Amino acid sequence: MEYHVYSLNVREHFMIAHSFKGEIFGPAQGLHGATYIVDLEMRRPSLDKDGLVVDIGLASQQLSAVLGELNFRNLDDVQEFDGRNTTTEFLAAVIFNRIAQRIREDQLGPAASGLTSMKVTLHESHVAWAAFEGDLQV
């Protein structure tokens, strides 16, 4: 069986402050900052009638909007995250879910209805990153 998929990737960044609870985090238990580079990859098995995976401009705008909700915030003060360690892995899933919601709300245009999966990768540095990916029910 042959497998093929098209993908489109957009990139943005955001900066946050946070702290972690638990001995495993060592000095990161104290308040510290992080700057993440975020890659959003959207996938579909065939291109739409215009030859697109999704509108790159809308994808960039929506990723920027989602990250804008977190940018320059101390995540320790965000009620939604109360009691959670806002690890890179956790934040990748948060961003994935917020983008998926925007796709369901048709904020990424008609081409987004053909998306089947997505991956969000947060790069902490040039040597460490984490991701969350999954299928989309559009």
**What is the token pair recorded at 76?**
């320790």
pLDDT digits (tens, 9 = 90+) for 72-116: 999 999 999 999 999 999 999 999 999 999 999 999 999 999 999
Of 132, 136, 57, the closest CA to residue 104 belongs to 136
- CATH fold for the domain made of 6-135: Tetrahydropterin Synthase; Chain A (3.30.479)
Domain ranges of the chain: 6-135
Rounded to two decimals, the pTM is: 0.95
Alpha-carbon distance of 71 to 13, in angstroms, equals 9
| pLDDT band of 43, cuts 50, 70, 90 | very high
- Band of pLDDT at residue 16, cut at 50, 70 and 90: very high
Note the pLDDT tens digit of each residue in 48-59. Answer: 999 999 999 999
For residue 104, which amino acid is it?
Answer: R
